[in-house]
Every structure is written in structure tokens, then in C-alpha cells.
Amino acid sequence: MGAFEAFDDHVLQAICDVLGDTGGGLTGSEIGRLLQERNIPDPEPSTTKRYRLHLALAAQQQEDRCANNVVAFILAAMNPVRYVHERMAFEDRRTRLNVVLAFSGLSVQEDGTLKRVETARTISAAQERAGRLRQTLQDRRVHADVLRFCKAELLQDNYFHAVFEATKSVADKIRSLSGLTSDGAQLVDEAFGLRHGGLPCVAFNSLQTETERSEHRGFVNLMKGMFGVFRNTTAHAPKIMWRIDEQDALDMLTLASLLHRRLDAAVRTGAG
């Protein structure tokens, strides 16, 4: 590992705020163990996690006159092996760290290594590097279930798998509503088919007028179209052969959000 220039104290404090966060950071015992493993003195083990960590790392950085031991601590804290059963925690912590580290021209990668990147000069640039797609979706007020199913992929700006997971989330909700076990277009037909004018298993509205029945059929076709275009393609095409850009991903995930909202309001009829 080459020499890393010492972090500005504001950046170092922000790093410690992430790693020592009360809700989503390292535990006190984890901080103590990691400091011990890196042979970094722990001068105030009884104080708050953020302050404790900042005292320890700032003192070590001052002694070293570089950030090498601080970087080593960050890499130890972000070792993916530590998060085998907590992938969401890893991605949340990595994203928050990368917003801060971007101001020093660094970024923690998915494999836990550190990469040099163009130094961010503004908060928006740092946020863009850490998770532009997720932020845009939040600005659009996309349904929480879309974000929940796509979380890890969105944080990595992995459009291919984000689309795949979003379509899966819609199918999962249909199965939950209907009690059915099929998938794709078959699932949509079984759950929402009007059965030659009769009631579907699940309805988007009261189906009392031709307008309502037309709306119902429209949402059925919209779901089947989504599965046909995105789910089937992503399930069977190699990632390198099926390219999707950011705008496509945003539009598709927004469509999934619309379907989730309508499914939230749909009712099981008792038919079927």
C-alpha cells in the first residue's frame, strides 16, 4: 500500500461519524478489536464511539504524518468477509463512507479495496459517485418496495440487476396478494384474468363499469409487458449482451413503483 496523504480533520471526523454511528456503525467492542488488531492506541475507550474513534485515528495519523494506518483501519472495518450475512449493512456503510471519501479522491469498492477516484469538490458530486441512481429514485418518491428489493444493486449503480430485482418485487407482491405460485405472464393471467367476464382472483378496482374493467385490463397488459420486456430478457440474456442505461433503469423502476402502488390498493375477490 502506497502512502496516503493525511486526511483533513473534517474528513476524518466525518469518517468516524459513519463508522461510529449510533444506529448503523461499528459496535464499541468492534472498534476496540479493530484498533487493537491495527496496533492503534485506544486513549478513551469509555467515551462515545465517534469521539473515541476520532481521538484514536487522529492521534495515529498525526504520529504517522500520513493516513496509512487510518486507511488500514477503514479497510479492516469494510472487509466483506465481516458482512457475509449483512450485505445491506455493508452497502449502506460503504455508500455513506464513499460520500465522505470522495472529497479525498478515494472510494471503497464492492470487494472492500480502496480505489483512487477523481476528487469531489461538492456534496452533490460525492453523492453522485456513491449512489446517483438511488438518490434520483428517492427524489421521484419511488415506492419503498422497489428500493427495498433493489437496494444493493442500486447502491452500485448496477442497472442490469436493479431492473431484474424490481420486476421480481412486483411478482412477489402479486403472489402475496393472490396466494398463487406461478411467475411472469402466467402469474398475471391467473391472478387478474377476467375469466370470460367473471371476477378475477385480484382486482384493481370494483369492475362495475366498462371503464373500470378497461382500466383493469390495461394494468394487466402493463404488467405482462414489463415481464416480457425486462424480466424475461434479464433472466435469459447474458449481462454483457443486454445493455441498459441509467435513463432506461430510471423509467423502468418508476413503472415498477406505479404497479406497486396500484397493487397496494388492489383487493382479493375470493374468486378462483
Q: Are residues 190 and 106 in the same domain?
A: no
CB 67 within 8 A of CB 100: no
Residues 79 and 39 in one domain: yes
Contacts of 87 by beta carbon, 8 Å cutoff, 6+ apart: 152
Are residues 124 and 162 located together in one domain of the fold? no
Task: For residue 141, give the DSSP letter.
Answer: T
For residue 51, being part of any structural domain is answered with: yes
Tell me, yes or no, whether 61 lies in a domain: yes
141 found inside a domain = no
Shared-domain flag, residues 259 and 164:
yes
Asked if residue 146 belongs to a domain, the reply is no
| pLDDT per residue rounded down to tens, the chain (272 residues) | 568 999 999 999 999 999 999 887 899 999 999 999 999 999 999 999 999 999 999 999 999 999 999 999 999 999 999 998 887 788 878 888 888 898 898 989 888 899 888 887 777 765 665 566 777 888 889 998 888 776 655 555 557 777 888 888 999 999 999 999 998 889 999 999 987 567 899 999 999 999 999 999 999 999 999 988 775 554 444 444 456 777 888 899 999 999 999 999 999 987 76
112 and 186 both lie in a single domain: no
For 209, the domain range is: 158-268
Of 197, 201, 223, nearest to 210 (Cα)?
Answer: 197
Are 119 and 219 within one domain?
A: no
Looking at the fold, whether 40 and 87 belong to one and the same domain comes out as yes
- Angle formed at CA 223 by CA 217 and CA 225, multiple of 5 degrees: 100
Establish if 239 belongs to a structural domain: yes
**Residue 123 belongs to some domain of the structure:** yes
Number of structural domains, the chain? 2
One domain, residues 109 and 162: no
Is position 103 within any domain?
yes
Say if 122 falls within a structural domain. yes
Q: Report the pLDDT value the prediction gives residue 238, as an integer from 0 to 100.
A: 46
Q: What is the pTM of this model?
A: 0.53
Single out the residue in 110, 129, 148 at which a domain terminates: 129
